[in-house]
Structure 1
Amino acid sequence: MQFSVKITEYQKNLMLNICDADLLGKNIVQNELTMTISKSYYGDQIIEEDEAKKLLENSTIINMVGKNTISLSLELGIGSENGIKKISGVPFLIVFKM
């Protein structure tokens, strides 16, 4: 399983943008709502599951998109089912760790 990620520092926090690699570059549309999964936001590098786990555990702000990404996050106890939203069946979740 591969993931596409971009890591930045934001106000002294590690911010992780992560998505299922196969979603990179796609536009998800539902009615008048469009979510662009752009390379500039999610696409600095492609990583494998072990590296994704480490990044999810060590990041304080996480923007994630995709079934595999969110399943992995929930498996690690990061985020909750209640916070997941979907656009055309594609789940996304934003987590702020305190």
Structure 2
Amino acid sequence: MKVFLNVIRAQGMVLVNICQVELLGKVFKDGDIILDINEKFYGGELVELDYAFSLIDEATVMSIVGNYVVDEAIKRGIVHKDSVLSVSGVKFAQVYNV
């Protein structure tokens, strides 16, 4: 499966942002919670999901958006199921390597 991957390196941090293709550019709201899947943060290269997940070791923070992608991260042991948020039915998770 192809996903958008955007790696941002700034101030000694490496942010690895992974987004399902069909979600890029959309905004989801659930009460006061807003999930803005914007081009600046999530847009980037179109890559295979396996490659995107392979960057976990170099990531300071990995941000993962999309039901399929988050479920796959759970299956692979990257994300714990209890740490997943859902905004208007769209799953979102962050992994911190500190």
Runs of at least 4 residues off by over 6 Å: none
**51-60 or 75-84: bigger deviation:** 51-60
Report 1:70-85 matches (<5 A): 70-85=70-85
User: Would you say the 8 A contact 1:56–1:73 is kept in 2?
Assistant: no
**55-64 or 13-22: bigger deviation:** 55-64
Give the structure-2-normalised TM-score: 0.85
5+ long unaligned stretches in structure 1: none
Task: Tell me the residue number matched to 1:35.
Answer: 35
Deviation at 1:42, TM superposition (A): 0.2
Using the aligned pairs only, state the percent identity.
27
Using a 3 Å threshold, how does the CA distance of structure 1 residues 75 and 58 change in structure 2: closer, same or farther?
farther
- Matching residue's letter, 2:31: N
- The 2-side partners of 1:15 and 1:73 are apart by 16
Q: Say what the alpha-carbon RMSD is for the aligned residues.
A: 1.7
Give the structure-1-normalised TM-score: 0.85
Q: Secondary structure at the match of 1:95?
A: strand
- The 2-side partners of 1:76 and 1:59 are apart by 16
Q: Secondary structure at the match of 1:78?
A: coil
5+ long unaligned stretches in structure 2: none
